Amino acid sequence: MVRARPAAALLVIVSLAAAAGPVGAADLGRYLDPATAPFIPIPEIDLDPYSGTTLGLIPTVLHTNAQDQIDEIIAPDIIRNQYFGWGSRVRVFGFPSVDEEWMVVGGGKQRVEREFDARFAAGELRQQAWSWSIEAIYDRSGSPRFFGVGNASLLANQSNYLDDQSRLDLAVGRNFSPALQLGYLVRMRYVDVLPGVLPGVPSMTTLFPGELGIGAQHELQQRLTLTYDTRDSPVIPHEGVRYLVYAGVVAHVLASSVAYSYAGAEARGYQPIGRDVTLAWHVALRYMPAAKDAPFWALGSLGGDLSVPGESEPLRSDGSDRYLDRNLSAGGAELRTRVAGFDAFGTRVTLELAPFIDLGKVFADPGESPLTHLHSAAGLGVRAIASPHVVGYVDIGYGQGRGAVFSGINYPF
């Protein structure tokens, strides 16, 4: 499955550098001061449960508007990954207003991996009658894992596959009010699951040769979503709720090589506790009434660090897609606590600490209780926030004898 990670921990690292102040020689200090430096040299350290260790440098340029809010980030990098060698990416993020955003990310490594992601969204605040977005993704990733299907899939059955995927998403929302929206998504996706490339990890095509989804498949997916949203911000919420119900279908008669249907519901809530603390929680259910011809990459997914409604839920002790099955239940909570705030790089930056807990399971029988045999993870998140557009995070989770470190942009939920 595609997991676009445009600028891992970028703002967290920037903020910690700013909080610490210039270090070392005067020349180094000048590069940490945007008033005198052509760019901000940010070290990149990314530890992913599947992708391995990535080290590099991100020479970053931040632009702010008259209100001292970030309206553009330019962040190319040069990196080295332990599996795929040297590489480079170009990232540009734009925030023309609180109601619009766009991004372009592209790059590759010496071996195997390539990526491109471009997105534009308008009507984020739902003040007008319509909201819409378009996103195009190409991702060739050599790190995904498959452990088998089911809530009790074994770690010993870990396998690797090469995921070569292209996707175009078009989304339109009819806003009946700023809180109530009916949305329609159409997704055109091509997925080619190829033999694994990681040394020392068995290939999925060898360990699970008959699994549905191996090889080249294409789909035309359609989804309807009804959303009730009273959050005070779509990116950095402090209070309010978001409830949504959705249903989607992929059918052979609609020019797809696979077929399945799914439906579900999700709720998120944000409760301020004093001035500097927010209790954030979420619960989710996803069922697949028709899954006989569903590829493994379309099943409900538990694992990783992000909640994607209708697709996957976090378990921050394991990597993405650790547990897969036709049905899914999940929940979790964070106590987001502001611990520092300061002016840096032309904007106001806030640092947060967030102890968290994740719970969830996947299951085949729709009659099974969604509250039994739950996997769990707990940990601590470190976040840097530049309102109203940007959240960078590093989340450290532990559960069932395993730990993981995740980094990226935007809150997990």
pLDDT tens, position by position, 192-224: 999 999 999 999 999 999 999 999 999 999 999
Cβ(347)–Cβ(64) below 8 Å: yes
Of the listed ranges 34-43, 119-128, 179-188, 190-199, the least confidently predicted one is: 34-43
Strands (DSSP E) contained in 142-259 are 145-146, 159-175, 180-195, 215-229, 240-250
In the chain, the percentage of residues whose pLDDT exceeds 70 is 90
* Residue range 82-108: mean pLDDT, rounded: 94
Residues 6+ apart with CB under 8 A from 374: 329, 359, 360, 361
Q: Where are the domains of the chain?
A: 10-409
pLDDT at 46: 78
Place of tokens 């390539």: 114
What's the mean per-residue pLDDT of the chain? 90
CATH 3.30.1180.20 fits 10-409, yes or no: no
Confidence tier at 64 by pLDDT (50, 70, 90): confident
Confidence tier at 5 by pLDDT (50, 70, 90): very low
- Residue 189 neighbours by CB distance under 10 Å: 21
Predicted confidence (pLDDT) per residue in 354-396, tens digit: 999 999 999 999 999 999 999 999 999 999 887 777 788 889 9
pLDDT at 70: 80
**Does residue 2 have a pLDDT over 50?**
no
Q: Read off φ and ψ for residue 219, nearest 5 degrees.
A: -145, 155
**Does residue 53 have a pLDDT over 90?**
no
Residues 6+ apart with CB under 8 A from 38: 61
Of the listed ranges 23-27, 112-116, 176-180, 198-202, the least confidently predicted one is: 23-27
What is residue 304's DSSP assignment? B
Predicted confidence (pLDDT) per residue in 305-327, tens digit: 999 999 999 999 999 999 999 99
**Does residue 42 have a pLDDT over 80?**
no
Of the listed ranges 28-42, 89-103, 314-328, the least confidently predicted one is: 28-42
Predicted confidence (pLDDT) per residue in 274-317, tens digit: 889 999 999 999 999 999 999 999 999 999 999 999 999 999 99
